[in-house]
Amino acid sequence: MQRSSPSAPLRFSTQTLLLQLAVVLLVVLLSAGVHAWLTYDRVGSEAENQALTLARTVASDPSVRADVLAISEQAGTPPAAELAAGPLMASAEAARTRTGALFVVITDETGLRLAHPDPQRLGERVSTDPSEALSGREVTTRNTGTLGPSAGAKVPVYAPGSTTVVGEVSVGYSMETVGQSVARDIGPVALTATGALIAGVLGSFLLRRRLQRLTLGLEPEEISSLVHDQVAVLQGVDDGVIGVSADGRISVFNAAAQRLLDLPDLTGTAWEEAPLPDQLKSLTRPGPGPDAALELVAGGRVLVANARKALHRREDLGWVVMLRDRTELQQLTRQLDAVGTMSTALRAQRHEFANQLHTIAGLMSIGEHQQARGYLAQLAATGPLKFPVDQAELLQDPYLQAFVGAKGVEADERGVALRIGPETLVRGQVTDAQDVTTVLGNLIDNAVNAAVAGSARDRWVELEVMDDPGDDGGTLHVVVADSGDGLAEGTDAEAVFAEGFTTASGPVRAGGGQGFGLALARQLARRRGGDVKLLDPGTRGGPGAVFMATLPGTIAGIRNAEQTDAGLKDAAGKDNDG
């Protein structure tokens, strides 16, 4: 036997609608019930007051008082036929007929009926307790007698000219009449309640539709799952994610975006007023295509940013801006370029070394041993390998020697002579090769490009490097000049450090990393407490522009070198004295 599948649970919006309808219906019913009860009680109280007024009128009638006293003074009670034809019966029925009361009953001091709408009840004791009225108190009552439920009053009848109670008058109005009055009054209440119920139903439907639109038709469980997934994804990826809502406010700013841009959480901030690079904001403005991307330098990093429009079934949800870090890729590219340059230099020097070996072998083969020894002595004095860099011996640090030598080979292949300035003095050792490579390499590459593009026939790049012990670690000072034509006339000194600025004559490939070298070099230097500045924009026909970089904390061992030099001088002085 196949089991029937359980029915699908109601959607949250449907449950909300049914709950709202139930609440509205309950409120309407309670309101209508309370109003009906208050109306019933009010009409009943009015009937009691009306009965009390009529009872007082009848009880205060002199003829009624006299007739009741006369009957009370008689021995026994007159027969029912006599009472039916008597004056009390006539007075009571006249009052009842005139006012529309259910009954007007007159009794003697013992509670026996002297007047009653039903003649057969005359002479009998009343069905309700008359003791309070016979004791001289006026009372209002709601009870059920021989004529049905009623709201009435009991008033004592006094003997003429005396305070002696000789009977009582009981007047009642039918509660059915009261109910009819309530039914007439409850009509507008029911109409109002129906209108309120219809308005509540309509409001519930509108609220249900708005709730579905705000939640995109998702159930609470689905929304909760989406929130957990969003947190897991946004916090788990290395890319920066910025969400911009349709109203122009930042709705998402994950931890990676905060780290890449070096900014606090900007969630809730207006997108156009946020402290973000204007290039990043331009991605969400009219103009760029859906796949538009740009490179920018922010927080000391080279970032690639792109933006996409977020849509859900034709509904505009805003923008999603993605940030990817290319800093490490740029640094790796720079290091690979340096390795490639070194490889090219070593390949060129390998040919030179092979030629030297062939020369020695030739001298040995023809028996010129003395010339071979002299040639070897000359090689030992100058070194087997020689980079095409003038005064390279001023760079005592092996890393700087190798890197600048490789750059010299690369420049030499392009027809540019790389030389070391006479003021160069490096006594310590480089401790942060990565930042030094980025800054120094960018400055030398820019200078070589400027020298190649310049109009001077003698193409050169001059580099001066100095170290300073300082108080917070050794500082490396770098000055680079070239023989190019300098910057264009009117170029702002700060504009050259803007992202995307380039003096390349050819077209710049989008996303190729051009125009970011100086900006990245300056940010790296400033992050260390230093700077990169333009000292001289250069002149047409040469010399070209002059740049200076200051890199604190990149040199170590300077003090030891100074102490070693001082110790050697002291030792030399003692030897001379001794």
Three-state SS at 85: coil
Three-state SS at 101: coil
DSSP state of 537: -
**In the block, which residue shows the tokens 């050794």?**
474
Whole-number pLDDT of residue 168? 92
Per-residue pLDDT band at 477 (split at 50, 70, 90): very high
Per-residue pLDDT band at 246 (split at 50, 70, 90): confident
Pairwise pLDDT comparison (342 vs 326), residue with the higher score: 326
- Stretch 242-269: mean pLDDT, rounded? 84
In angstroms, the Cα distances linking 288 to 282, 283, 306, 318, 508 are 8, 6, 10, 15, 18
Kind of pairing, strands 250-253 and 293-298? unpaired
Three-state SS at 72: helix
The C-alpha atoms of residue 328 and residue 334 are separated, in whole angstroms, by 10
The C-alpha atoms of residue 217 and residue 54 are separated, in whole angstroms, by 69
Asked whether 127 and 103 are in contact (CB, 8 A), the reply is no
Whole-number pLDDT of residue 278? 79
**pLDDT higher than threshold 50 for residue 573:** no
Q: How many residues does the chain have?
A: 578
Whole-number pLDDT of residue 548? 92
- Stretch 476-493: mean pLDDT, rounded? 86
* Cα dihedral: 328, 333, 337, 340 (round 10): 100
pLDDT tens for each residue of 214-245: 776 676 777 777 766 666 666 656 678 888 88
What's the alpha-carbon Rg for the chain, to the nearest Å?
56
Query: 336: number of CA atoms within 13 Å, CB side?
Result: 6
The C-alpha atoms of residue 226 and residue 220 are separated, in whole angstroms, by 10
**What is the secondary structure of 155-175 as a DSSP string?**
EEEEPTTS--EEEEEEEEEEH
Cα angle 205, 206, 207; round to 5: 90
Fill in the amino acid letter for 279.
Q
pLDDT tens for each residue of 358-376: 777 877 888 777 887 877 7
Asked whether 244 and 284 are in contact (CB, 8 A), the reply is yes
Per-residue pLDDT band at 148 (split at 50, 70, 90): confident
Cα–chain-centroid distance for residue 124?
87
Fill in the amino acid letter for 138.
E
Pairwise pLDDT comparison (15 vs 105), residue with the higher score: 105
Whole-number pLDDT of residue 234? 64
Give pTM, 2 decimals: 0.45
pLDDT tens for each residue of 548-567: 999 998 888 765 544 444 44
- What count of other Cβ atoms lies within 10 Å of the Cβ of residue 512? 10
**pLDDT higher than threshold 90 for residue 480:** yes
**In the block, which residue shows the tokens 């009010």?**
42
- Closest to 450 (Cα-Cα) out of 483, 418, 405: 483
Query: Is the backbone of residue 262 left (phi > 0), alpha (psi -120 to 50) or beta?
Result: left
Whole-number pLDDT of residue 386? 59
pLDDT tens for each residue of 209-222: 887 777 766 767 77
Query: 137: number of CA atoms within 13 Å, CB side?
Result: 8
